[in-house]
Structure 1
Amino acid sequence: METKTALITGSTSGIGRATALKLASDGVRVVVSGRNAERGLEVVEQIRTAGGEAYFVGADLRDAQSAVELAAKATQVAESAGGTLDVLVNNAAIGTGGPTAGTEESAFDAVLGTNLKAPFYLVANLAPAMAARGRGAIVNISTLAAEVALPGLSVYGASKAALDLLTKSWAAEFGPAGVRVNSVSPGPTRTPGSEGLGEFLQVLAAQAPLGFVADPEDIAAAIAFLVSDEARFVTGVILNVNGGRTVV
């Protein structure tokens, strides 16, 4: 069996890191990417120590050009290792909290640049090659805030709601060529990025039937399923991994 290669953006910590470790344990060659090279190399070393194959490519995904450059570098890594870039996980994201009034334009642009523009141009530069080979899997990481209105998260939620729509559009566009595109929408998850929420994280989790805060590995398991061949008949889905929050 040919080894698949996966590019996971924002995989130096949190959900992205857990996904890199999970896919590597499943036998996938992983391209770890993020802004912090030290943390990225630590993830790579952890994967290699466990017997997996991983590489680090730094990227500051704030605009189209950075996405184009990452796509080219990740493709080169995959080809140098004797494979192709078969999986893309658009996980890198930034958020800004607070009321609408007073939100700086620079903050608005930064969120939309990383959360929406970068995934758009990564797909634009990677999906056509997947389609030409007749196979590929893309997973976009969304958020509960894209479906449930949470005060202070308007810009972040809007960026992810738009990404969910792109998921469906790309599923329709690339599906006939064998490329599957899905979203995973996490609920409250214990990550370095959510530490600042403090007790509110547990309060938010308590509103769901299951009632607990997820670990990054819980989200990674769902992502791993969607990129696997076991999900070969699944595309265009927004998979809620939120403890049942959106059913109540």
Structure 2
Amino acid sequence: MGSVDLTGRVALVTGATSGIGAATAVLLAERGAHVLVAGRDAVRGETVVAAIRTGGGKADFVAADQRDAESARQLAQQAADLGGGRVDILVNSAGIFPFGPTDQTPADDVDAVYDLNVKAPFHLVARLAPAMAERGRGAIVNVSTMVAEYGVAGMALYGSSKAALNLLTKAWTAEFGPRGVRVNAVEPGPTRTEGTAAMGENLDALAAQAPAGRPAAAREIAEAIAYLVSDAASFVQGAVVPVDGGRTAV
């Protein structure tokens, strides 16, 4: 029986200054990990770090915009330095999700979504997974979305970027799995976060389509991520796990 205890592990969580990323950072710290809180907003990042430390956990903030391969290289290097030379766990939670009609989507939005939702995880895994493989151990979780599984009007850009991330999850399993690196993904449904607050009643309407009938709390998504990075999930590889209240099951 695997353990969910993460004591001694170094975990890098991107997009960890708010929402699902912040909830994940807090939970992994509660489980004993040294969490590196990565994000663009230093004030929010330090707030998450302070909350973790107040609770008796270990955390550090790492500034990261993840705009390109060079910024991913810098983030990987800073994380390894803060982690005592290694990163054991990577959670790719940073992402943006502009919605709207395809013909009204600015070209800059297309580039921005793919830069952060697809290219940033790609570059970060390229930097961190080989070292995990050399050590024979590591866990990576990519945060996807339920709308990577089915078509929704207005969500073509966002959904397609996360569908690419789902395929990367499987390809990285084939590439790094034989050397001890487990790569999985979670597909959240509607979740109450700072980022989705602007959706208002639309969030509840979307959530009402699922058997659960309500939006998730960020902590509920974090629990699934924490399981996947732990030894309790030692035989789970290449899985894309719906955490959507049952929406994609019906």
TM-score range, shorter chain: over 0.9
Residue 94 of structure 1 contacts residue 114 of structure 1 at CA under 8 Å; is this kept in 2?
Answer: yes
Task: Map 1:1-248 onto structure 2 (within 5 A).
Answer: 3-79=8-84, 84-248=86-250
CA distance in 1, matches of 2:235, 2:150: 28
CA distance in 2, matches of 1:103, 1:84: 40
CA distance in 1, matches of 2:199, 2:146: 15
User: Residues 183-232 of structure 1: CA distance to partner in whole angstroms, max 9, x if unpaired?
Assistant: 00000100011111111111111111111110000000000000000101
Task: Could you tell me which runs of 5 or more consecutive residues in structure 2 were left unpaired when the two chains were aligned.
Answer: 1-5
Residue 4 of structure 1 contacts residue 84 of structure 1 at CA under 8 Å; is this kept in 2?
Answer: no
Task: Could you tell me which runs of 5 or more consecutive residues in structure 1 were left unpaired when the two chains were aligned.
Answer: none
Residue 35 of structure 2 contacts residue 59 of structure 2 at CA under 8 Å; is this kept in 1?
Answer: yes
Residue 38 of structure 2 contacts residue 62 of structure 2 at CA under 8 Å; is this kept in 1?
Answer: yes
CA RMSD in angstroms, aligned pairs only: 1.0
Residue 59 of structure 1 contacts residue 66 of structure 1 at CA under 8 Å; is this kept in 2?
Answer: yes
Residue 142 of structure 1 contacts residue 185 of structure 1 at CA under 8 Å; is this kept in 2?
Answer: yes
- Deviating above 6 A after TM superposition, structure 1's stretches of 4 or more consecutive aligned residues are none
Shift of 1:2: 6.2
SS in 1 for 2:142: strand
Shift of 1:148: 2.2
CA distance in 2, matches of 1:134, 1:159: 30
Percent of aligned pairs sharing the same letter: 58
SS in 2 for 1:236: coil
With 148-157 and 118-127 compared, the bigger mean Cα shift is at 148-157
Residue 7 of structure 2 contacts residue 33 of structure 2 at CA under 8 Å; is this kept in 1?
Answer: no
Residue 7 of structure 2 contacts residue 31 of structure 2 at CA under 8 Å; is this kept in 1?
Answer: no
TM (norm. structure 2) is 0.96
Shift of 1:84: 2.4
Residue 74 of structure 1 contacts residue 85 of structure 1 at CA under 8 Å; is this kept in 2?
Answer: yes
Alignment-mate amino acid for residue 121 of structure 2: P
